[in-house]
Amino acid sequence: MDSDLLKRTKNSRQRDLVLRILRSSKDHPTAESIYLEARKTIPSISLGTVYRNLNHLRDEGRIRELSYGKGISHFDGELREHHHVRCIACGSVADVPCVVPRPFIEEVQAQTRFQIHSVRLEFIGLCGTCERLSEEKGPRPETARE
Partner DNA sequence: CTAACTGCAAAGTTTTTGCAATTGC
Partner DNA sequence: GCAATTGCAAAAACTTTGCAGTTAG
Instruction: Work out how close the CB of 142 gets to its own copies at its nearest, in angstroms, rounded to a whole number.
Output: 6
| Burial category of 79 from C-beta neighbours within 10 Å (exposed 0-12, middle 13-18, buried 19 and up) | exposed
Check residue 19 for interaction with its own copies (CB under 8 A). no
Check residue 61 for interaction with DNA (CB under 7 A). no
Q: 73 or 134, CB closer to DNA?
A: 73
The span from the CA of 121 to the CA of 119, in Å, is 6
Check residue 71 for interaction with DNA (CB under 7 A). yes
Element (H, E) at 93: strand 93-96
Residues 15-44 that bind DNA (CB under 7 A): 15, 30-32, 42, 44
Phi, psi of 49 (to 5 degrees): -65, -40
Residues at the contact surface with DNA, assessed by CB under 7 A:
4, 7-15, 30-32, 42, 44-49, 51-56, 70-73
